[in-house]
């Protein structure tokens, strides 16, 4: 579903190769990001990634990894896990990535992150899950819930698994919050609690 402005897409400045930005910042290292060089992908995977980027779910996500970790490729593999397992998540300086939301607009990723940081009160680019935790009534921390990366910029299996569990907990908490809001709007929807009738033995 193409839009006038497409998030998560850009170009590696020094090579001019097209890319998708999966993490706008590496956890604890705001000068680097994790990208996928889409020009290096096999045709079928390239199409899967681009179709995912253009989807409404991905465009509604602040970071592409949030969508990729709950999406599967054509071969049935989890998208984020597959990108990691195949060594396709690469670290790049944010200053070497030019975001290209449309044909007319261009902005370097480091500049974009700075603008977003100003708008969000200085929060890191990979902290939307923390915002969800805050909505759920949990204590907000500065530590990002995005997966940690190895020295070469590749996400570890353990980090992905931990992040997926964290995301699941946040979704459950958010669902509970929405449920309570629904009950407040229409109390008749709330299940009625009653004592079970005792049966004679």
Any idea what the Cα angle at residue 49 is, between residues 46 and 53, rounded to 5°? 135
Assigned token pair, 167:
């995301």
Q: What is the domain partition of the chain in residue ranges?
A: 9-187
Choice between 80 and 141, residue whose per-residue pLDDT is larger:
80
Whole-structure pTM over 0.75, yes or no?
no
pLDDT, tens only, 82-103: 999 999 999 999 999 999 988 8
Nearest to 93 by CA among 145, 21, 18: 21
Assigned token pair, 114:
């700075």
pLDDT, tens only, 5-58: 899 999 999 999 999 999 999 888 889 999 999 999 999 999 999 999 999 999
């Amino acid at each position: 579903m193409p839009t006038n402005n497409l998030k998560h897409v850009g170009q590696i400045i020094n090579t001019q190769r097209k890319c998708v930005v999966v993490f706008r910042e590496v956890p604890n290292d705001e000068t680097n990001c994790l990208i996928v060089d889409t020009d290096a992908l096999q045709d079928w995977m390239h199409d899967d990634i681009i179709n995912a980027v253009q989807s409404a779910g991905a465009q509604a996500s602040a970071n592409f990894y949030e969508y990729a970790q709950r999406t599967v490729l054509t071969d049935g593999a989890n998208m984020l896990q597959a990108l990691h397992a195949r060594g396709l998540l690469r670290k790049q300086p944010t200053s070497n990535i030019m975001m290209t939301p449309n044909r007319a607009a261009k902005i370097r990723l480091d500049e974009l992150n700075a603008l977003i940081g100003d708008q969000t009160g200085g929060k890191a680019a990979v902290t939307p899950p923390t915002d969800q935790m805050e909505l759920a009534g949990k204590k907000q921390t500065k530590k990002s819930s995005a997966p940690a990366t190895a020295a070469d910029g590749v996400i570890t299996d353990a980090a992905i698994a931990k992040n997926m569990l964290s995301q699941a907990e946040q979704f459950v908490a958010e669902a509970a919050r929405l449920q309570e809001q629904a009950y407040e709007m229409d109390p008749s929807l709330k299940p009625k609690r009653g004592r079970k009738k005792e049966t004679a033995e």
